[in-house]
Amino acid sequence: MSSTPTPKKNFDLAILKRVLSFARPYRSRFYISIAFAIVLAAFTPVRPYLIQLTVNKYISNHWANALINITIIQILFLLLETWLRFYFSYITSWLGQAVVKDMRVTVYEKVLHLNLRQFDRTPIGTLTTRTVDDIERINDIFAEGLIPILADLLSIICVLGYMIWVDWRLTLICLIPFPLLILGTYYFKESVNKSFHRVRNAVSSLNAFVQEHLTGMQIVQAFAREKKEFEKFDEINKEHRNANIKAIFAYSVFFPLVEIILATSIGLIVWFGSKEAVEAGTITAFILCLNLLFRPLRIIADKFNVLQMGIISSERVFKVLDNEDFLPPSPETAYKPKKVKGKIEFDRVWFGYVKDQPVLKDVSFIAQPGETVAIVGHTGSGKTTIISLLNRLYQINSGQILIDDVSVDQWDTETLRKNIGVVLQDVFLFAGTVMDNVTLRNTDISREKVEEAAKLIDMHEFIMRLPGGYDYNVMERGATLSLGQRQLLSFIRALLYNPSILILDEATSSVDTESEQKIQKAIDTLISNRTSIIIAHRLSTIQRADKIIVLDKGEIKEIGSHTELLQKGGFYAKLHQMQFEKKAHTIHVNAQ
């Protein structure tokens, strides 16, 4: 666990202003809520005044008819005030939810365009917390924080003004215990604020831990790590519990303290009133005023903490929005050709996921339109990195990548990626139907096209045998399908988009021999007149490639055809010899 950062003593006004900027489209409701806060504050001392008037004038003089009338007025006023408070609460909550909705859309849009390196560095659970939970806390700035605090402060001012107007001496007497209340409120605010800050950090850690371990549950169970991982979770959860308990302790001390101070103030009112012969109606009104003072004071510190936690959550959310490591939207002038020829050129490309640790070093090669280029090399040599850069999933450190002699930085990103079909080794399927996954919910792709693509690689019959056929739910991450079946579905996905450039990253590594033959047949059809980049460990699958690039530790060692590279007797020849010997040994063992 990382140490909990010390919270700021005062919330950042610049952040608050930025949050309020999201309320700009709803400024009319914002101003209405402010107006309601002012009206409700002005209404606050009216009831004590009516009570004072009733007791001092109508009850003491036994004016029965007037007493009935003033009682009716009080009931009507109470109904009006109740309606105003209801609408005030509703409009502030509505405003908060509207801002939350807009902000969540803005954050998710930003997350969608972050460079992949951000997902490499940031736990998914943390981003989930920022997008869902932290933004939800921003609702409290409007519903329970800023505007309600303003309403409470105005109410306190109006009530104090009324009390001083009625009897300034009695006001000073009953306010004698107030310094204790102010001191207790300050310590309560500070204690709860620190606890809430710890709670938010603990929630983020919990989300990140649970997200990661639910995703990797197969590994946890396969290596019998349940007990150890549970102990880690229990430790994080204890931190969450302790932070909450500390906040609960502060509440448990503060609220009884407020009640004691209130009782003391009431006692001082009764004592002074009996000593100075203050009218009964005035004493009654003052007791009501004290309750109206203590009610907002009792919760204003809590509301301030809610406001401050909303600001802290906002700061975290704005860190996501201010992240500069993202792919900006393509301008209108970006390159959008109607037809892509498929020429690929890497010109002295350097790239590293971490600064000063290059994965690709001065890589240069050209793939002509319609050529099939294979990339081979040991694990970690940079093969998959090349295709990630081609798709602009990462920004290169130096050099240039061109498609059809135009730098990928000048291409319209959507046009570029639509013309590059990718079949990855690690296939990801979303929760949904087969149809949803192969079309990625693109309504322009008809079922007939999907079936035609499925038939091309002999997957149609298999899909039709599933319950519901193309409407079969593959569950999250394709849990109900084998690894080979998931890879075949991803191949259909690539076929449907009819790309000008096809990338196969170990596309046959997870399928059996029969499935591989099906895919190989489809590949032969698909790569015809189309630029293709094939990454493979099994050299037998790339022998017919027009060009083979041999990578080692991020550097190109050799380029040539299968026959040319074998004749050189270099790096590729050694790889080929190692695989051939391994295959021969396996056949020999199986024969025995």
386, pLDDT greater than 80: yes
Kind of pairing between the strands at 420-423 and 555-560: unpaired
pLDDT at 476: 66
Which region among 54-68, 243-257, 258-272 has the lowest average model confidence (pLDDT)? 54-68
**pTM to 2 decimal places:** 0.69
Per-residue pLDDT band for 516 (boundaries 50, 70, 90) equals low
pLDDT at 154: 92
Greater pLDDT, 218 or 399? 399
Query: Tokens for 129?
Result: 């917390």
pLDDT at 591: 45
434, pLDDT greater than 90: no
Residue (of 517, 520, 494, 473) closest to 427 by Cα position: 494
Query: Tokens for 17?
Result: 């202003």
Is there a contact between 463 and 454 (Cβ–Cβ < 8 Å)?
Answer: yes
Which region among 331-335, 386-390, 455-459 has the lowest average model confidence (pLDDT)? 455-459
pLDDT at 511: 58
Q: Residues 512-524: what's their mean pLDDT? A: 66
Q: Is 12 left (phi over 0), alpha (psi -120 to 50) or beta?
A: beta
d(CA 399, CA 363): 9
Which region among 181-190, 285-294, 523-532 has the lowest average model confidence (pLDDT)? 523-532
pLDDT at 493: 83
- Identity of the residue numbered 429: L
Share of the chain above pLDDT 70, in %: 89
Q: Residues 196-213: what's their mean pLDDT? A: 78
83, pLDDT greater than 90: yes
404, pLDDT greater than 80: yes
Task: From residue 410, give the alpha-carbon distance in Å to each of 338, 385, 559.
Answer: 15, 20, 28
Is there a contact between 335 and 508 (Cβ–Cβ < 8 Å)?
Answer: no
d(CA 188, CA 201): 20
pLDDT at 165: 93
Greater pLDDT, 102 or 299? 102
Kind of pairing between the strands at 360-367 and 501-505: unpaired
d(CA 499, CA 422): 9
At 188-197, the pLDDT tens digits run 877 777 777 7
Q: Facing residues of 366 across strands?
A: 345
Is there a contact between 141 and 96 (Cβ–Cβ < 8 Å)?
Answer: yes
Greater pLDDT, 140 or 8? 140
d(CA 376, CA 379): 9
Task: From residue 212, give the alpha-carbon distance in Å to each of 125, 223, 397.
Answer: 7, 16, 30
Show me where the domains of the chain are located: 14-321, 344-591
CATH class of the domain at 344-591: alpha beta
Greater pLDDT, 500 or 495? 500
pLDDT at 584: 45
Q: Residues 405-423: what's their mean pLDDT? A: 88
Q: Residues 28-55: what's their mean pLDDT? A: 90
Per-residue pLDDT band for 275 (boundaries 50, 70, 90) equals confident
Greater pLDDT, 224 or 233? 233
Most confident range, picked from 222-236, 420-434, 515-529 = 222-236
Q: Residues 180-209: what's their mean pLDDT? A: 79
pLDDT at 200: 73
Instruction: Return phi, psi of residue 549, to 5°.
Output: -105, 125
pLDDT at 589: 42
Per-residue pLDDT band for 522 (boundaries 50, 70, 90) equals low
At 471-494, the pLDDT tens digits run 888 876 666 777 777 777 877 887
Q: What is the mean pLDDT of the chain?
A: 82
DSSP string over 372-407: EEEEEESTTSSHHHHHHHHTTSS--SEEEEEETTEE
**Tokens 């994080």, located at residue:** 236
| Total Cβ atoms within 10 A of residue 382 | 23
pLDDT at 510: 55
9, pLDDT greater than 90: no
**Tokens 């500070």, located at residue:** 190
Most confident range, picked from 33-37, 310-314, 537-541 = 33-37
Per-residue pLDDT band for 55 (boundaries 50, 70, 90) equals confident
Q: Is 414 left (phi over 0), alpha (psi -120 to 50) or beta?
A: alpha
pLDDT at 585: 44
173, pLDDT greater than 70: yes
At 333-384, the pLDDT tens digits run 888 888 889 899 999 999 988 878 889 999 999 999 989 899 988 877 888 8
Select from 3.90.650.10, 3.30.565.10, 1.20.1560.10, 3.30.70.270 the CATH code of 14-321.
1.20.1560.10
Residue (of 385, 426, 573, 390) closest to 509 by Cα position: 426
Residues 6+ apart with CB under 8 A from 492: 438, 450, 453, 454, 457, 459
